[in-house]
């Protein structure tokens, strides 16, 4: 096949450059092109190579567990349709690098922890294994992640590229797309169940696709860091953004207060609810028949509750029989001649 047109010759040159460079390909560990926005490592309170956009706390605020709803639609789409992994490992790295919280595991690793304890209790572990009760650390807070949306092709710049550069540009533009994602994190206090903070995060990246890779290889890295950016990297970047916003929120945290205390009825005056502004309602005076103790003793004897000879005195025996009577009538068993008991005795 003969290549005659300038466009065909350009394509041939690009293909030749790609073939030549492919022979020089080597395995590169720690490649910057393969990294996500969640970079580096963490060990205790120290971190190395963390993203410069990630804020850091000088003082740790408490322990935290990540609650990932594996039944949520976004999680099913993430793992089954997009074939991406859980968000928990990324968030654990970000949290420890920030030093704002100490991570306690409540995920699948918890099964191994309980398995080791079960082995210890069964006597299978060595005597000095030091597994016992009261060793685990409680989680002060829970962090719940969610992906609001993740769009694998949100851009339409391909048509513009094709219009500017003709048929060769159309080939480039046809593989040019924008990947974007929006994430949300909520932070809850485990003891009160009160939400402490919530933060949104987002990220977007232009992807030159397969032909963009040819451009990057043949023309000094034109595609650069934007070439072949996986959708997972955009989601990670969005979580970096949302967690950074969570850190900023807790660093500027001011507790919400409700007059009268949280959970005591609120102040919206809902019909049927408690109005904290209204004065406490006075209890209505109990209706009284004015029955004397002597008359009550006589009535109890008549009904088969033996109080002995009526003497008008509220002794232990009279109280005991009053309590029996109250119980038989499903009244509060106070053993006292209260208004409700008097009314029942008068029937």
pLDDT on residue 42: 86
* Domain end marker among 196, 225, 251: 251
The dihedrals phi and psi of 180, each to the nearest 5 degrees, come to: -145, 155
Indicate whether 171 and 317 sit together in one domain. Answer: no
| pTM confidence score | 0.60
What is the secondary structure of 205-242 as a DSSP string?
EEE-HHHHHHHHHHTTSSSGGGTT--HHHHHHHHHHHH
**Alpha-carbon gap, residue 144 to 188, rounded angstroms:** 8
Indicate whether 247 and 297 sit together in one domain. Answer: no
pLDDT on residue 173: 44
Indicate whether 198 and 144 sit together in one domain. Answer: yes
pLDDT on residue 178: 65
- 204 lies in some domain: yes
Indicate whether 42 and 166 sit together in one domain. Answer: yes
**Alpha-carbon gap, residue 171 to 165, rounded angstroms:** 10
Q: 164 to each of 12, 167, 173, 220, how far by Cα in Å?
A: 21, 9, 10, 21
Indicate whether 159 and 54 sit together in one domain. Answer: yes
**Alpha-carbon gap, residue 14 to 8, rounded angstroms:** 10
Indicate whether 300 and 242 sit together in one domain. Answer: no
Indicate whether 298 and 247 sit together in one domain. Answer: no
**296 and 322 Cβ atoms separated by less than 8 Å:** yes
**297 and 291 Cβ atoms separated by less than 8 Å:** no
- 264 lies in some domain: no
**Alpha-carbon gap, residue 280 to 272, rounded angstroms:** 15
Classify the C-alpha dihedral 11-173-210-228 as positive or negative. Answer: positive
Indicate whether 169 and 65 sit together in one domain. Answer: yes
The dihedrals phi and psi of 198, each to the nearest 5 degrees, come to: -145, 145
Indicate whether 222 and 313 sit together in one domain. Answer: no
Structure tokens at 259: 């007059």
* Cβ neighbourhood burial of 219 (10 Å; 0-12, 13-18, 19+): exposed
Instruction: Give average pLDDT by consecutive 10-residue segment, the chain, 347 residues.
Output: 60 62 60 68 83 89 95 89 86 93 92 93 92 93 89 52 42 57 95 96 72 42 41 88 94 90 83 59 48 89 88 89 88 88 86
**Alpha-carbon gap, residue 59 to 98, rounded angstroms:** 10
- 203 lies in some domain: yes
The dihedrals phi and psi of 85, each to the nearest 5 degrees, come to: -85, 180
Structure tokens at 87: 């968000």
**Alpha-carbon gap, residue 325 to 183, rounded angstroms:** 65
- 30 lies in some domain: no
Indicate whether 64 and 151 sit together in one domain. Answer: yes
Into how many domains does the chain fold?
A: 2
pLDDT on residue 196: 96
Indicate whether 95 and 215 sit together in one domain. Answer: yes
Structure tokens at 312: 């008008």
pLDDT on residue 266: 83
- 13 lies in some domain: no
- 91 lies in some domain: yes
From start to end of the chain, where are the E strands?
A: 41-43, 46-48, 63-66, 102-103, 141-151, 177-189, 195-207
* Cβ neighbourhood burial of 127 (10 Å; 0-12, 13-18, 19+): exposed
Indicate whether 141 and 193 sit together in one domain. Answer: yes
pLDDT on residue 47: 79
- 299 lies in some domain: yes
- 287 lies in some domain: no
Range of the domain at 321: 293-345
């Amino acid at each position: 096949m003969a290549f005659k047109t300038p466009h065909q010759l350009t394509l041939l040159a690009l293909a030749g450059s790609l073939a030549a460079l492919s022979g020089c390909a080597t395995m590169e560990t720690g490649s910057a092109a393969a990294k996500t926005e969640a970079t580096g490592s963490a060990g205790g309170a120290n971190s190395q190579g963390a993203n410069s956009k990630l804020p850091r706390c000088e003082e740790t605020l408490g322990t935290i567990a990540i609650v990932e709803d594996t039944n949520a639609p976004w999680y099913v789409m993430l793992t089954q349709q997009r074939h991406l992994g859980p968000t928990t490992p990324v968030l654990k790295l970000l949290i420890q690098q920030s030093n704002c919280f100490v991570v306690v595991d409540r995920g699948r690793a918890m099964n191994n922890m309980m398995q080791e304890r079960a082995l210890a209790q069964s006597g299978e572990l060595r005597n000095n294994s030091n597994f016992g009760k009261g060793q685990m650390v409680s989680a002060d807070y829970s962090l719940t992640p969610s992906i609001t949306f993740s769009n694998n092709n949100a851009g339409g710049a391909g048509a513009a590229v094709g219009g500017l550069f003709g048929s060769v540009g159309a080939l480039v533009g046809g593989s040019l797309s924008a990947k974007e994602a929006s994430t949300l994190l909520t932070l809850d206090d485990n003891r009160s169940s009160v939400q402490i903070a919530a933060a949104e995060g987002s990220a977007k990246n232009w992807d030159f696709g397969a032909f963009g890779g040819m451009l990057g290889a043949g023309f000094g890295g034109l595609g650069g860091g934007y070439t072949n950016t996986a959708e997972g990297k955009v989601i990670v970047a969005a979580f970096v953004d949302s967690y950074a916003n969570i850190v900023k929120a807790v660093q500027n945290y001011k507790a919400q207060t409700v007059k009268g205390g949280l959970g005591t009825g609120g102040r919206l005056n809902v019909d049927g609810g408690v109005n904290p502004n209204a004065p406490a309602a006075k209890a209505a005076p109990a209706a009284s028949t004015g029955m004397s103790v002597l008359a009550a003793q006589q009535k109890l004897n008549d009904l088969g509750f033996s109080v002995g000879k009526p003497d008008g005195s509220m002794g232990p025996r009279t109280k005991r029989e009053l309590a029996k009577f109250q119980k038989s009538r499903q009244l509060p068993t106070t053993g006292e001649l209260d208004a409700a008991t008097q009314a029942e005795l008068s029937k």
